[in-house]
C-alpha cells in the first residue's frame, strides 16, 4: 500500500469507529504524525489529503516545515505534540498552531509571554498523565482544575482541551480505561464551569479506534500511515 491507500484505510477505520460510537465522522480530526518521514513523503501525505500534521521535536520537524513553506501550503495546520522545552517555545510558536503538551506552569507562563510578543492566542491542550506511569509526562488528573483556573489569567493561551498518551498494550481494550479517564476528566472540568474544554487528543496507531469509542476528537497517527517498506 502507498501513502494514498494508507490514508484511505485509516479514514475508513475512523469512519467505522465513528459509526460504532454513533458519532459524526466530522467530529474526529486526523493529525498525521510525520516524525518518521522526510519532506518528500510529507508531500505524498499532503497529496493524499492530509492537512493536519504533528511533530514531537522541533529539530526533526524543520525540513518538513520548510517544505510546507516552499510549497505554499496555506491550508496546513501544524500540531506540536511532544515534550516542549521552554527555550524552544518562541520558535515553536512561529511554526505550530496547536500545542498539545502543556504540562507544567513555567511552560504555560513562557507560552503566554511569547504568544503575547507575537500577537497570538495559542490553542493549547493540557497533557494529562491518566495512567500514572512515572515515565509519562503530564499533569495528574487532580491537578487539572487548579491549573485551568490559574491559566485564566494567561490571556494569550486558550486551553481548549486535554491530551494523553496511553501506555503500550497488546490489546487496545486493556488501555481503554485511559481514554475513558480523560473523557471523564473533561466532562468534570466542563461541569465545573470550563465549557471551553472540549477537545480530547488521544489515540495513536495502536489504539485510535478505542480512543474514538471513548470520545477522541483528535487522533494522532504516525506508523499506520506509512507505506510498507
* 140-165 b/e (C-beta count within 10 Å ≥ 16 → b): ebebbeebbeebeebebbebbbbbbb
CA atoms within 13 A on the CB side of 224: 21
Segment interacting with ligand PLP (CB under 6 A) among 59-67, 146-154, 181-189, 199-207: 199-207
- Which residue lies nearer to ligand PLP by CB, 33 or 162? 33
Cell of residue 46, nine digits: 499532503
Name the minimum Å distance from CB 225 to ligand PLP: 8
From residue 33 to residue 52, what is the string marking binding to ligand PLP with x (rule CB under 6 A)?
Answer: x-x-----------------
DSSP string spanning 12-25? HHHHHHHHHTT--G
Query: Looking at 61, 65, 68, 81, which residue binds ligand PLP (CB under 6 A)?
Result: 81
Segment interacting with ligand PLP (CB under 6 A) among 39-47, 110-118, 133-141, 204-212: 204-212
Residue 200's H or E segment, with its range, is strand 199-201
Determine, following the binding rule CB under 6 A, whether residue 166 of this chain makes contact with ligand PLP.
no
Burial of 215 (0-12, 13-18, 19+ CB in 10 A): buried
Instruction: Report the distance separating Cα 159 and Cα 173, nearest Å.
Output: 29
Instruction: Report the distance separating Cα 138 and Cα 153, nearest Å.
Output: 21
- Which residue lies nearer to ligand PLP by CB, 16 or 223? 223
Name the minimum Å distance from CB 96 to ligand PLP: 13
Name the minimum Å distance from CB 170 to ligand PLP: 14
- Per CB under 6 A, residues contacting ligand PLP are 33, 35, 56, 81-82, 165, 204-206, 220-224
Amino acid at each position: 500500500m502507498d501513502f494514498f491507500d494508507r490514508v484511505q484505510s485509516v479514514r475508513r477505520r475512523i469512519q467505522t469507529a465513528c459509526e460504532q460510537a454513533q458519532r459524526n465522522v466530522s467530529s474526529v480530526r486526523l493529525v498525521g504524525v510525520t516524525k518518521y518521514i522526510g519532506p518528500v513523503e510529507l508531500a505524498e501525505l499532503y497529496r493524499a489529503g492530509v492537512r493536519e500534521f504533528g511533530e514531537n521535536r522541533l529539530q526533526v520537524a524543520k525540513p518538513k516545515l520548510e517544505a510546507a513553506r516552499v510549497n505554499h501550503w496555506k491550508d496546513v495546520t501544524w500540531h506540536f505534540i511532544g515534550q516542549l522545552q521552554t527555550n524552544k517555545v518562541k520558535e515553536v510558536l512561529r511554526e505550530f498552531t496547536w500545542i498539545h503538551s502543556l504540562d507544567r506552569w513555567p511552560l504555560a507562563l513562557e507560552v503566554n509571554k511569547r504568544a503575547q510578543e507575537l500577537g497570538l492566542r495559542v490553542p493549547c491542550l493540557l497533557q494529562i498523565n491518566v495512567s500514572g506511569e512515572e515515565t509519562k509526562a503530564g499533569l495528574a488528573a487532580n491537578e487539572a482544575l487548579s491549573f485551568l483556573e490559574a491559566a485564566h489569567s494567561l490571556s494569550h493561551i486558550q486551553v481548549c482541551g486535554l491530551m494523553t498518551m496511553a501506555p503500550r498494550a497488546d490489546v487496545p481494550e486493556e488501555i481503554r480505561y485511559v481514554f475513558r479517564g480523560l473523557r471523564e476528566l473533561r466532562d468534570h472540568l466542563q461541569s465545573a464551569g470550563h465549557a471551553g474544554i472540549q477537545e480530547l487528543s488521544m489515540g495513536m496507531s495502536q489504539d485510535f479506534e478505542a480512543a474514538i469509542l471513548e470520545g477522541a476528537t483528535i487522533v494522532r497517527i504516525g506508523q499506520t500511515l506509512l507505506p510498507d517498506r
